[in-house]
Structure 1
Amino acid sequence: MKRGLNYILFLILSLVFYSFFSAPQSFGTGESFTSISDSSTYNKKYAGLPREIKYSIGLSPPEYYTLPEDNEITKSPYQNINISCDSFPQNEPSVKISRKNPDRVVAAWRDFRTGVEPANRKIGYSYSTDGGNTWQPSTLLLAYNPFYIFNSDPVVCTDTAGNFYISAISIDRNKTNSTVLVYKSTDEGVTFDDVYNVTPHPDSINYGDDKSFMTCDLVNGSPYINTLYAVWSSDSESVLSKSTNGGVNWSKRINIVPNGGGYALAAAVGPHGELYIVWLGMLNGHKYGLHVSMSTNGGLNFTTKFICPVASSLSFTRFPSIAVDVSGGKRTGNIYIVWSNKASSIEDEDVYFSVSSDKGESWSAPKRVNNDPLNSPRKQYWPSITVNGYGNIYITFYDTRNTNSNNTVEAYLARSTNGGNTFQNIPLANFHTEINYQNTDIRFGDYISIDSWKNKIIPVWTDERAGGYNMEIYSSVISDSTVGITTVSKDIPARFNLYQNYPNPFNPATTIKFDLPMPSFENVTIYNILGSEVSILVNEKLKEGTHTLNWDAANYPSGVYLYRVNFGIFIQTGKLLLVK
């Protein structure tokens, strides 16, 4: 008997010992990395490889855990993919995932391969047929006509039919007039042979007007589904034009803010076709700052809210970004905006976040997204935001917290699974990049971009890791790491049933299994033991059958968690135990 008890005690201690020492160790970035310093396989097989090759095949040697010198590998868990692959400068990228076939992705950017001194602005683009893992050789959009030879400020857009669009500011050869163009692809991003003039009278806007941003209403059931909206600043005014026939024809310009100015516009569409436009400027005696203009009738009329003041002494133009939750979850309709601002008089520029849950009528106090020490001399800027199909928020931005100079940056990712209450910060780029450019017409640009669809997230950013003036466009493919759904049987079960997760206790991943006797809208949410929402894992309609759901909790602390499964008429809660 005593011998048996000793054996059981030994097993328990062994399990505890194993769970502790085999657990991925956290190094303060919100991600987990496993040390392989004692691995003879690593030493023998990979020791002679260059460090960048070691990293590209997924190895994380222990020397990477220390803060790197500039131009060294950083601790990003994501593979970085060069999608422009050209030795001339490329910058100001934009990206969009097809809503019809998410394996098709298009990215576009400002491209200087045809001239640097003087700068010859063109737009380059590439497309992916495998969800962003590999990209086709990049090419240039054609000039609009022999007189309007320069293109700039691209933004990629898509509709529900799988067509892609690239909006651009086209500038004449004398650099005196400009016009807004939209290039259209009907072959999933391979070619953009159709081009339409949004402003048919080129002299209606002056050279120097900036950044045409474009978005599309992609929400099923919206009265304005597939309406394209182009917004830009024109002669110190914020204006809009829209198309209801796939970009072929465009409305006359609509003033978003009558008798008011603005610039750095971005737009997003809500779950019922509401149009929200964020911009910087002054209105009705307010301080210079952030505004959101809202329309509920397809962009015909707008009301505007002042959100907060923004410092006018930032070292770069800081374009805000906006996204709306259209996931169908409990935060559907939330409007999120991000921007960069100074926290004090010192050189501490941070990324800030605000949310409205009442269609833009009121907004939360600005919240800091980056989690480096407050009032540090380091900068975070150029944020771009997206909300994926599970209602999770992803923000990409530039960051200098780990570098020796504010002229040396790395791309970062912030992620929130609780509506922006908290943010996890993760290095995105695996190299630091020093900002260098030949002239101010090229510079580093003014923005980067991110898009998501269901559980796929794709950011794009400008990167000079190659050295010199070689700006390239880099990307990563990120899966919402909390969840993966598999249909294990299409046989129709007799009843709704939720199984206990397995393994339980677990580290770091576990599987939740459930039966659906009929097609049902599924919501699976994780809560901590205090009842606070941790993450929405699933928020979509599933067919009947038996399904499994994988939750990777590598980024969460040990403890008891609850998973609540809601299939409409069937609600059940289970308990999970994460032991690290």
Structure 2
Amino acid sequence: FFFLTPLIYSQVIWDPLYNLSNTPSATSDYHAVHSDENGNYYVVWGDNGDIKFKHSSDYGLTWSPNIIVFTSNNICGWPVVKSNQNHVYVVCHQLAGDYEILFRYSSDYGQTWNTPQIISGMDDGSITPQLAISGSDIIAAWERRVNNFYDIIYRRSTDHGVTWSPEGNISGSLGSHSRWLQIEAAGSTVFCTWLESVTYPESDIYFSKSTDGGETWWLTPPPITNDPRPQNRIYMKVVSENDIYIVSDDIITFNFDELYLMYSSNGGNSWSTPSNITNNAGHSNTPCLEVIENNLYLTWADNSHTAPAYDNMDIFFKWSSDNGVTWQDSINLSDNPETSSRPRICSALFITLQGVIWADFTVVWYDYSTGDAEILARNGTQIIVPVELTSFTSEVRGNDVLLNWTTASELNNKGFEIEKSQKSKDKNQKWEKIGFVEGKGTTTEEQIYSFTDNNLAQGIYQYRLNQFDFDGTFEYSDIVEVNINSPGEFYLSQNYPNPFNPVTNILFAINSSLFVSLKVYDVLGNEVASLVNEEKDAGEYKVQFNAEGLGSGIYFYSLKTGNNILTNKMLLLK
């Protein structure tokens, strides 16, 4: 529960793992996943030369039966799935005389499929395809072996894959090996990254983009790394047209890789320095990254936990709330004595009927814990509570100060320390703890709190709240300031609570017997209420204002005595 950030996060809660493919005596591997914001999750995988498909419409809770998308006398593999509303697209490569790229399309979430088609040249050495969706356009890209080198080839379709543009070359025939491409889109901007290698295993990460839906690309793709560490694989996550993440699997020594994270905030024009985000003694590989509400969620395969033998890989997961600077402790999702490989994440947000926001994850991988290669999965959820200090106000009552604050919701909130400082010219401002108010733990209900600081001497005081979680985490609120005036001074306090619905209190004081007018106005200057309109003796007064018949919005209340006028603003929220 934090004041200075818009969202707070609990730990991820994981369900038991389950078998997603359920194909005994088969080899289910080299899968891919896709998810949309409506909780549709898609998984495809290779299965003894066929390509199979599954769909979940409820965030991975239940799944359709296995559907065969591609089957032939040839071996199909390396499938990729993407969707656009009810439209689902799958590509894979097929080994005929040589490799070629197959494409298939469904308009009903994968229940039925059109006729498969070859979208590369026949038997032309095209492998490892990828897909990107840019608006209503599809961009398919793959590697093609040309003169013993690999180039990145692409085609576009504007009619769900019925017709395709001529082939284009993204990598630009660099005369080396362009491998392991990733392609993603944000709006009409399409991004592509890959590994460029002249001599194995030396390689660097290259990057290109198109701002017209894949029609044209950067003419000379630039490298975004130039270091002695060769890369083995990469994973790209595009959040927006500006925000892009790349996680690379860097070879440190034989069978010892580390994962490095790079970030661009300007559409790939410049990149952060790669940072090591695993930094362990094992073999970290095949990363996958998701980004939800500015949090990073990473999954990968690793064998560091089996040191010194390093005899099997498991699937790990961790997350970061500060753009990858620090990470929560990792959790072993597979945790079995057999090898687990190539994790991928489906994710989405959903809101319960009670208004609680959850992030949902389904991590999918393949392993041999059942005796055969199978596609396994685990579902995880994380509560996300929108938290803000909706109000923090102060009012003076003679020589006392009343502090009022309101929270919209709370998670793990132990309570609030109230701190005070007397304002002075001394730059080394000193704060003292003057009280503590218990919080409500975890709640999505609005909570109202108050605290009174009594018998203050004349002066200017500042107050702040220090909110503590049960785990010791704390965060400071903004500062409010009050002025304890000399006795008998004329003043008008801030109403409390503020915002309010529909009743609030207004305090004022006058220093002699005077005719007093206290009125409320809307933003157009129309009078909507007259609260006081009579002679008053010197002293302090409290008036209640009921806005039952008024609409939500900003209102002004004005105190007038003789030539003195004071006006404050208040907010009615219904």
- Residues 139, 280 of structure 1: alpha-carbon distance in 2 compared, 3 angstrom cutoff: same
Matched, 1:91 2:77: yes
- Residues 419, 565 of structure 1: alpha-carbon distance in 2 compared, 3 angstrom cutoff: closer
- Residues 311, 283 of structure 1: alpha-carbon distance in 2 compared, 3 angstrom cutoff: closer
Matched, 1:82 2:68: yes
Matched, 1:168 2:139: no
Matches of 1:243 and 1:272 in 2, distance apart? 11
- Residues 246, 229 of structure 1: alpha-carbon distance in 2 compared, 3 angstrom cutoff: same
Determine the structure 1 residue equivalent to 2:36.
Answer: none
- Residues 271, 82 of structure 1: alpha-carbon distance in 2 compared, 3 angstrom cutoff: same
Matched, 1:273 2:237: no
Determine the structure 2 residue equivalent to 1:255.
Answer: 223
Shift of 1:312: 7.0
Shift of 1:259: 2.8
Q: Which protein has the bigger helix share?
A: 1
Kept in 2, the 8 Å contact 1:274–1:297? The answer is yes
Q: Percent identity?
A: 20
- Residues 187, 365 of structure 1: alpha-carbon distance in 2 compared, 3 angstrom cutoff: same
Higher-Rg structure is 2
Kept in 2, the 8 Å contact 1:229–1:243? The answer is yes
| Residue range with higher mean Cα deviation, 190-199 or 79-88 | 190-199
Kept in 1, the 8 Å contact 2:258–2:283? The answer is no
Matches of 2:281 and 2:76 in 1, distance apart? 29
Determine the structure 2 residue equivalent to 1:378.
Answer: 338
Shift of 1:393: 1.7
Tell me the number of residue pairs that the alignment of Structure 1 and Structure 2 aligns.
325
Matches of 1:309 and 1:183 in 2, distance apart? 39
Determine the structure 1 residue equivalent to 2:208.
Answer: 241
Aligned amino acid, residue 306 of structure 1: N
Shift of 1:246: 1.3
Per-residue Cα deviation, 1:549-570 (whole angstroms, up to 9, x for no partner) = xxxxxxxxxxxxx99599xx99
Determine the structure 2 residue equivalent to 1:192.
Answer: 164
In structure 2, the residue corresponding to 1:418 is in which secondary structure? strand
Shift of 1:230: 0.7
Matches of 2:373 and 2:62 in 1, distance apart? 14
Determine the structure 2 residue equivalent to 1:335.
Answer: 296
- Residues 237, 205 of structure 1: alpha-carbon distance in 2 compared, 3 angstrom cutoff: farther
* Structure 2 residue runs without a partner (length 5+): 1-14, 20-47, 49-60, 198-202, 351-358, 385-407, 415-441, 447-498, 502-574
Out of 192, 207, 214, the residue aligned to residue 230 of structure 1 is 192
Out of 411, 414, 427, the residue aligned to residue 375 of structure 2 is 411
Determine the structure 1 residue equivalent to 2:314.
Answer: 350
Shift of 1:137: 2.6
Determine the structure 2 residue equivalent to 1:367.
Answer: 331
Kept in 2, the 8 Å contact 1:270–1:333? The answer is no
Determine the structure 2 residue equivalent to 1:292.
Answer: 261
In structure 2, the residue corresponding to 1:413 is in which secondary structure? strand
Shift of 1:351: 0.8
Determine the structure 1 residue equivalent to 2:368.
Answer: 400
List aligned pairs for 1:120-519, cutoff 5 A. 120-143=98-121, 149-159=124-134, 161-172=135-146, 174=147, 176-200=148-172, 202=173, 204-207=174-177, 209-217=178-186, 225-235=187-197, 236-251=203-218, 252-260=220-228, 261-270=230-239, 273-282=242-251, 288-303=257-272, 304-309=274-279, 318-325=285-292, 332-342=293-303, 343-344=305-306, 345-370=309-334, 374=335, 376-390=336-350, 391-403=359-371, 408-418=372-382
Matches of 1:570 and 1:337 in 2, distance apart? 42
Matches of 2:188 and 2:364 in 1, distance apart? 26
Per-residue Cα deviation, 1:345-379 (whole angstroms, up to 9, x for no partner) = 25331111122212233233332122xxx4x4212
Matches of 1:338 and 1:29 in 2, distance apart? 15
Per-residue Cα deviation, 1:376-429 (whole angstroms, up to 9, x for no partner) = 4212111112322433222211022222xxxx2111122222179xxxxxxxxx
Aligned amino acid, residue 176 of structure 2: N
Aligned amino acid, residue 323 of structure 1: E
Matches of 1:28 and 1:275 in 2, distance apart? 32
Shift of 1:134: 1.9
List aligned pairs for 1:43-82, cutoff 5 A. 78-82=64-68
More contact order relative to length (CA 8 Å, sep ≥ 6): 1
Question: How big is the alpha-carbon RMSD for the aligned residues of Structure 1 and Structure 2?
Answer: 3.7
Kept in 2, the 8 Å contact 1:184–1:193? The answer is yes
- Residues 531, 412 of structure 1: alpha-carbon distance in 2 compared, 3 angstrom cutoff: farther
Determine the structure 2 residue equivalent to 1:16.
Answer: none
Per-residue Cα deviation, 1:38-95 (whole angstroms, up to 9, x for no partner) = xxxxxxxxxxxxxxxxxxxxxxxxxxxxxxxxx9xxx996411111122321111111
TM-score normalised to structure 2 length: 0.51
Shift of 1:250: 1.2
